[in-house]
Amino acid sequence: MKRYLVNFDTDQLEKCYSDVLIIGSGIAGVYTALELSENFSINMLTKEEVEISNSVLAQGGIAVSLDKNDSPEEHMKDTLYAGAGICDEESVDVLVHEAADNIHKICHYGVQFDKNEKDNSQLALGREAAHSKNRIIHAGDATGKEVCDKLIQNMVARKNVSLHERIWAVDLLVDEQGECRGVLAYDETEKKYKVFYAAITICASGGYGQLYYYTTNPEVATGDGAAMTYRAGGELTDMDFVQFHPTVLYHEKDRSFLISEAVRGDGALLRNASGERFMPRYHELHELAPRDVVSRSIFSEMKKTGESHMNLDITMKDRAYLEKRFPTIFQKCLSYGIDLSKDYIPIAPAEHYCMGGIKTGLYGNTSIKRFYACGEAACTGIHGANRLASNSLLEGLVFGRRIGIQAREMVDSVGENKMPRFVGQEYTKAADAATDQEIQTMQDTLKRLMTKKVGIVRTQAELEEALATVRALKEQIKDLVNDSLDKMALQNEVLLAEQIIQAAILRKESRGGHFRSDFPNRDDEHWKCHIIVTKEGTEMR
């Protein structure tokens, strides 16, 4: 019997039907909706308001080889290098070759990127860490907002798309033939469960940054898509690889505001408490080394000096330039009394991006029929062990559009009357159902544990300790009656934490975002592979 998060019987619930169901309203979900035929009816679920997503927060930009001195091949080379030997080359090839087309498409939807100051007919191309060429198109330092605002405007104007805010997908409904027929969902406004049936379901629910105490991700990023897929018997992969952003503002009032890589791309230097520029001691590319290297170097410098943070110095640029180039960052820092043109910015690394997720093929297809995934929820294999900066918004676009193409063949005659009945598994109600406060305490324990023991530097002993704690938490909540969104999020987070830790224990080497101080070297002979997990167990492929 399938294990669902809640007891239910679809016969007893309100039902909604559409040709396509999309979970999530970030760049991947919204662009996919726009790229699907307008002949399809589409239901889109999103956990909060439509504009609450990682996508909207994206600052730096989108990578695309537009310069005459650049090419998709150069972009591919940089992506493969950052990915540390385990990128899926076919997927990367698709990404870099379809990039420009998708950028033209979103410009057609009204997205405005900054123009080259010398030649207004060209887009301005910025540089970010580990890119060998200038290829980051941006809209100031609020690229995600500009892209999402314009795409959402276009989507809400489409008559075939029904947007359902504050409706949370809880579990996939997979029939006896192993085909996904939609989801069980919870309507937070009406406080009731509903069924969303569809011929195909597309998961664009983002990543799971909220598993960590320090993260740049918003509260909606609890990995629901990956957890639902696992419970439904689908494959997850690369859960061992989590990316930590090197430069997140370190301030008592804020633990999640990102200081974009573009600031280092523009010449900012990393300094320790004594004012020493320390990156030349760690890597030949200095501040522009790959993200994992910079994060580990900061972490190591913090450990060595006993400091809680390091500093980012962009004081070599004048105020007028900084206000224009980084308006959001400038104003945010100023609101905390930090003037970028005069003061160092206190920073520390924080969780930022999940390389792992639902295993997908070249058209967003997953191991479950009629179920697709794109964006950060998916693992297309393009990022390998470490994502190259500004490749993720692009991934959402490229693979979202590919699902749109594939869907033309998949949306067929699955009519309303063919939808099967689903009944949730019985749970025994725990005698001492947890209070909201207890749930929050458990969530806090989990986040601190993941940050401390499953973070930037890992060891066998600490991972095993973390696994024992997570399993104890899992036992504690196994009979929990899931009558609140926090309880459901906790179930998903505990499920994914266990998968991340198990994969991290298994991988006895260091590669990309996964660094083991007890196995500090990359070991291609034994570990040039992916760890795939399902309910049935773990496989190396």
Ligand X SMILES: Cc1cc2nc3c(=O)[nH]c(=O)nc-3n(C[C@H](O)[C@H](O)[C@H](O)COP(=O)(O)OP(=O)(O)OC[C@H]3O[C@@H](n4cnc5c(N)ncnc54)[C@H](O)[C@@H]3O)c2cc1C
Binding site for ligand X (CB under 6 A): 23-29, 45-48, 52-55, 57-62, 143-144, 168-169, 204-206, 216-217, 220-221, 224, 258, 353, 375-377, 390-393, 396
Shortest approach of ligand X to residue 128 CB, angstroms? 8
Closer residue to ligand X, CB minimum distance, 261 or 462? 261
- CB of 199 within 8 A of CB of 19? yes
Measured between alpha carbons, how far is 44 from 204 in angstroms, rounded to an integer? 10
Residue placing its CB nearer to ligand X in the complex, 278 or 400? 400
b/e string for 194-221 if b means 16 or more Cβ within 10 A? Answer: bbbbbbbbbbbbbbbbbbbbbbbbbebb
Q: How far is CA 53 from the centre of its chain?
A: 10
Looking at residue 94, its amino acid is V
Out of 135, 181, 291, 370, pick the active-site residue.
Answer: 291
| CB nearer to ligand X: pick between 296 and 387 | 387
Alpha-carbon distance of 536 to 497, in angstroms, equals 17
Judged by CB, which is closer to ligand X: 186, or 282? Answer: 186
| Residue closer to ligand X, measured from CB, 30 or 270 | 30
Angle at the Cα of 502 from the Cα atoms of 497 and 216, rounded to 5 degrees: 35
User: Using CA atoms, how far apart are residues 32 and 452, in angstroms rounded to an integer?
Assistant: 37
Q: Are 241 and 207 in contact (CB under 8 A)?
A: no
Place of tokens 């330092």: 141
State which amino acid sits at residue 529.
C
Give the CA diameter of the chain: 71
CA distance 270 to 348: 11
The CA distance from 59 to 65, in Å, is: 19
Q: Which is nearer to ligand X, 144 or 346 (CB)?
A: 144
Minimal distance, residue 103 CB to ligand X, in Å: 12
C-alpha span between 376 and 50 (Å, rounded): 17
Dist CA 373 CA 28 (whole Å): 9
SS3 413: coil
Q: Is 387 a catalytic residue?
A: no
In the complex, what is the shortest distance from the CB of residue 54 to ligand X, in angstroms, rounded to a whole number? 3
Catalytic residue list: 291
